Amino acid sequence: MKSLLICMLVSIFAFKKNQPYEPLRGSLTDNVILITGGSTGLGLESAKRLAVAGATIVVTSRNEAKGEKSVEAIQSYLKERGIINDVPKIYSLVLDLDDLDSVKAFPKLYKQLGIGDINILMNNAGVMAIPDRQLTKDGNERTFQSNHLGHFVLTAGLFPYLSRKKATVINVSSEAYQFTGGKFDIDNLNAEKEYGAWSSYGLSKLANILFTNELQRRADETGNSFLTTVTLHPGAVSTDLGRNLIGEEKWNELKTKGPSPLESVAINALSKFTKTVPEGASTQIFLAAAGADKTLVPGAFYENEKVKKLPPFATDATSAKELWEKSEILGGVIFDLK
């Protein structure tokens, strides 16, 4: 069964590798970039390389300890690259997407930093393929809230703090939207009818795409020409895919004790079809840099730093509108762009 799952994942996740994208040093000076889930993985890697480009970075994490560690990691990364003078400012703030009270309180925390408006909002945090159906304290299925609903509420709360000169919202999605079987089930957002680790993950990633489309449509409709919204597939990143195929406990054991000879063979084989974290982060880093230059295609889905056309069900206007309205109800917010 595991072998079949791996074959399915490799076929659905486009595994084309790309060279890590590096924005020019100093090219993002005067830009404020906020990255959710910036303490590990793609979020932390994005923060490091965008900081090298001169941006002021705000990363979010579930607790202060993780946030402080990520700030130290970014600062060390800058120092290793000889950036000692005119070091960009790096901040961390606590954000728990599984708790809508935390999400709704976040804009005030951001405002207290006193660093001005946000130029790039990178909605990066999320979970993948939770084995069983879990509910948040708000009563929502955890995958859906972590990956979509929490970011919907966050973006609504931060909308007044997006720069009116230029602002980009980047929603990290995935080719896993295809796990929905080519349909968007508005009545199963919280797995009320059926839960599957990968199908629910796929639904949350489809929600990222539909949210991107509807946010861009509403921005255009209300004359908010300062805003560009895009989404992307980072690629199958080895750490994420491996952790979720074998389980968190076993993955941590492998990191601590090291793999057996047989496990080493499996890991090496998997690595040929997956990306490293630096490779996987490249598209969202590219989008952040291109967003600052206003060279993105509004509402587009990107893969390997290029626009990729999506099937009709992934860009269906009716589904996008229904998701927006349902998200307002579940999130307890009115996301008004006027």
- Enter the tokens of residue 197: 């680790």
Residue closest to 157 by CA, chosen among 115, 111, 202:
111
Q: Is 295 exposed, middle or buried (0-12, 13-18, 19+ CB in 10 A)?
A: exposed
* Given 110, 177, 201, 302, the catalytic residue: 201
Q: How would you label 189-218 residue by residue, b for 16+ Cβ within 10 Å and e otherwise?
A: bbbeeebebbbbbbbbbbbbbbbbbbbbbb
Query: Which residues does residue 123 pair with via DSSP β-bridges, in sequence order?
Result: 171
Torsion sign over Cα 109, 154, 326, 9? negative
Taking the C-alpha atoms of residue 57 and residue 92, their distance in angstroms, rounded to an integer, is: 8
Task: List % helix, strand, coil for the chain (3-state, nearest 5).
Answer: 50, 15, 35
Q: What is the DSSP string of 196-208?
A: -HHHHHHHHHHHH
- Enter the tokens of residue 184: 């968007």
Q: Are 66 and 41 in contact (CB under 8 A)?
A: no
Told to judge if 201 belongs to the known catalytic residues of this protein, a careful annotator would answer yes
Residue closest to 154 by CA, chosen among 103, 210, 229:
103
Give the residue numbers annotated as catalytic, written as ranges: 201
